[in-house]
Structure 1
């Protein structure tokens, strides 16, 4: 585990080192913010994009905990101990030391390195990297913490969002914490971050001129999708044309902004329903689901703006670098129609409702669904949990006065960048060395990510050469990036289990398979991918594995009695539902 240097006097830090604010959204799609093509009002993030560098070819893991492990350590998710979220690990995989789904003891976080170099370190938000005492963020380099320990939770109150959890596990500075009555996640997390930063700015002992590292991993826009009514209302008429129209609009705006090439083609996902075939009531309900999602994004952006304004008022803004990204792409695993029987029984069994009138508010359970998730990722294919671009390509903005930009207007780079690059980049911006083979008296995994500062300063157009390969694996979904090319396999039920090759710079929508026309490149990349599996101790999933089935199995094991009652109830009600559908086939 990380060992913070508490008892050793820290050297006086050099003046002028920047503060660093690392903001992480949860399940945010590629074109979900205005500067990447969205219709959602995100002025705070747009302002950062205008003065910094936006990455159009940045990739992350296809689900959250592996991404967080790579972002905070610069180490591949398998070697960092988090090849998948623990909720989806198969029992056969858990016999391996690096398949526990929690941050390994042989990796050191960027927070520990910055703390040991004299930085104040703060974290407010979702952790999801281990809940045992020595795994908590307060023991992994963060001096002050307010942490949601699970994969997610309710945004309005302290309650779990799935039956896998007995309670919503919030911890403050390593100890259990009870949320306030007026809680809303995005507002609360920014309030806590402001409190942490301000506590040292106001310290009267005052030779403390140390910079700070603030890690702000929002819970937005992870399900349950919830937002204040004020923000929902702003989007109530925006999505009445449906998901296909929105996907096309997002593509056109992204192309006009230079986020994707002009005339970028895109596929239509088989999981996307026919909007025109829906009843008027169903279209109304689906449009509101998207309105709640958009409202949640804007609420997050508003609270980011509050943090920025606080830093301006406290004289810290000019010396602060901001990094904004998402842990993975759009979440599409919510039901196409949450109101359908027996689907609605799942949230209702843990006290939620899915009624139209209350959607997004306290007590409601909403999700994006596959239709609008496809629009959220436009023009990309696939979503969270899959290795298509829609699950892995997300916004990345690096901005702030200390970042040297070649020109004052918004800058874009199409250079490939990867999740493990964030920690080396933060260290470089802070003037802190990466760890060697040992740290704090123990062996550690070396960082494999690249420093992105040459891109930020304009000193280079790429940090990965045409022969450099970056691999990734999640439950037998596989990827190898090399130059402008991507080797990829997406497994069922949405994928077909076939390897393909794409030029994702020219064809980010993954529409033209080059595996036959560039057969030699294809075979060489397959060989490199096999080497990646070996080097990173990747364990294949057992035969017949399915992500959602494994999640359900793990819930069943944990909640046997309650789930047994629930399943018996379903069996009793099923004949009535079948009879109803036979009488009402439309």
Structure 2
């Protein structure tokens, strides 16, 4: 985008560089606790400002203490302390506001990537935001799932004829018999508070664009990178990217037995699989799995001067994050390189999303594939072959009739399973899924 005359900036989570961990576990823990300093958090040539962004503020690593994040930098300079009452989501969004105000003074257009950490675990939020949701989730898993499903149907986001509400994960335990329901309701309240704070910040970003006169001709795209996470982060305990003390020496509790309430800096906890299943209503499973609950996420586009589709309308085109490159280069006139710094660049396989801005419905990608932590899928038009991360057994679904993947058709259509399996293996070999690292030649 710089070649098309754009300013470029990023605020938020990077998490795509090699991490400079310490060989001695005690040193690593001291670093995470802000008690020792070991310099750069990854090779500097992998920092955002050496990967195309003029400006950057955020965390180089992934997991963060929201009140005092590890691996915080401005450009390539480590930020070694944060002010009292610091909260990372606010800092990410307020930095984005500052970038907008700065770039608004320039004649050049700008590209801004805001990578929110929220609501990734650990569950940490400001008390005032948590208080808004203290009663919201006390009705439990089934009631919330049903309410969300009915709302989606009413809004026209899903068709109940083809998108049934899948069975709740491990529904043998009812909310009434859940011995930890008060704790679980609070966990989800903190999760909601984290999203609320993010939403407030996005409001400030939109306000800055409006005040600078840039809102109407700015394309804003908002999306999630995956479905909600089922991880039990407390079970991980301290290590690698998880501290055991705060900067001022307070012990951090990894709340494996609900012994410490979620929300403050001194507790590491997460929403777990049952609430993740609720968060991904109406689909099954979650982040790390290749079922729709893990990979099917919403995207919102806003651009008053450029989008002619009816305001608030819904487009069912199958899109993918790879499509942003094709979309942005087409909009800006930037040229996707054939060669960069002497290296041949593979052509992008993305498809421009611009036709959807005009209200056109299209199939989008005819075929899509993935592999993540062993989970995988192959999709050809409406057919989808999928397996879980801990089980290589393929399952076949027709998404045109069964968006929530409730009816396995592999026995009925064995030839379709063979076809998609062959396509997946071809893709896996040509896209470096195989050989796995450390298994060269296998």
Length-normalised TM-score, structure 2 = 0.85
Which residue of structure 1 lines up, in the alignment, with residue 317 of structure 2?
Answer: 415
* 2:182 paired residue among 261, 280, 284: 284
* 1:245 paired residue among 111, 127, 143: 143
SS in 1 for 2:157: coil
Which residue of structure 2 lines up, in the alignment, with residue 424 of structure 1?
Answer: 326
* 2:45 paired residue among 134, 137, 160: 134
Which structure 2 residues correspond to residues 204-243 of structure 1 after superposition, within 5 A? 208-243=106-141
Which residue of structure 1 lines up, in the alignment, with residue 20 of structure 2?
Answer: none
In the alignment, structure 1 segments of 5+ residues that lack a partner are 1-113, 159-167, 203-207, 544-586
Which residue of structure 1 lines up, in the alignment, with residue 27 of structure 2?
Answer: none
* 1:270 paired residue among 163, 170, 195: 170
Which structure 2 residues correspond to residues 43-62 of structure 1 after superposition, within 5 A? none
Structure with larger RCO (C-alpha < 8 A, sep 6+):
1
- The separation in 1 between residues aligned to 2:347 and 2:50, in whole angstroms, is 20
Contact 1:472 1:479 (C-alpha < 8 Å) held by counterparts: yes
- The separation in 1 between residues aligned to 2:160 and 2:341, in whole angstroms, is 50
- The separation in 1 between residues aligned to 2:380 and 2:313, in whole angstroms, is 24
- 1:356 CA displacement: 7.5
Which structure 2 residues correspond to residues 508-519 of structure 1 after superposition, within 5 A? 508-519=403-414
- The separation in 2 between residues aligned to 1:385 and 1:155, in whole angstroms, is 23
SS in 2 for 1:510: coil
Which residue of structure 2 lines up, in the alignment, with residue 471 of structure 1?
Answer: 369
- 1:521 CA displacement: 2.2
- 1:332 CA displacement: 0.6
Number of residue pairs the alignment of both structures matches: 401
More helix by percentage: 1
The superposition leaves residues 464-505 of structure 1 with CA deviations (integer Å, 9 ceiling, x where unpaired) of 3xxx3211112322111211221111132xxx4310111224
- The separation in 2 between residues aligned to 1:330 and 1:485, in whole angstroms, is 24
- The separation in 1 between residues aligned to 2:49 and 2:437, in whole angstroms, is 35
- 1:345 CA displacement: 8.4
- The separation in 2 between residues aligned to 1:399 and 1:386, in whole angstroms, is 29
* 2:156 paired residue among 243, 258, 261: 258
* 2:423 paired residue among 528, 531, 535: 528
Q: Is 263-272 or 389-398 further displaced after alignment?
A: 263-272
* 1:381 paired residue among 262, 284, 297: 284
In the alignment, structure 2 segments of 5+ residues that lack a partner are 18-41, 246-250
- The separation in 2 between residues aligned to 1:537 and 1:477, in whole angstroms, is 15
The alpha-carbon distance between structure 1 residues 191 and 232, as it changes in their structure 2 partners (threshold 3 A), is same
* 1:501 paired residue among 388, 396, 406: 396
The alpha-carbon distance between structure 1 residues 475 and 318, as it changes in their structure 2 partners (threshold 3 A), is same
- The separation in 2 between residues aligned to 1:348 and 1:143, in whole angstroms, is 31
- 1:230 CA displacement: 1.6
- What is the alpha-carbon root mean square deviation over aligned residues? 2.4
- The separation in 2 between residues aligned to 1:317 and 1:415, in whole angstroms, is 26
* 2:351 paired residue among 447, 450, 462: 450
SS in 2 for 1:237: coil
- The separation in 2 between residues aligned to 1:174 and 1:272, in whole angstroms, is 51
* 1:315 paired residue among 213, 227, 239: 213
SS in 1 for 2:219: strand
The alpha-carbon distance between structure 1 residues 272 and 326, as it changes in their structure 2 partners (threshold 3 A), is farther
* 2:12 paired residue among 125, 134, 139: 125
- The separation in 1 between residues aligned to 2:16 and 2:8, in whole angstroms, is 17
The superposition leaves residues 67-88 of structure 1 with CA deviations (integer Å, 9 ceiling, x where unpaired) of xxxxxxxxxxxxxxxxxxxxxx
Contact 1:490 1:497 (C-alpha < 8 Å) held by counterparts: yes
- 1:296 CA displacement: 0.9
- 1:251 CA displacement: 1.5
Contact 1:387 1:489 (C-alpha < 8 Å) held by counterparts: yes
Which residue of structure 2 lines up, in the alignment, with residue 491 of structure 1?
Answer: 389
- The separation in 1 between residues aligned to 2:46 and 2:153, in whole angstroms, is 43
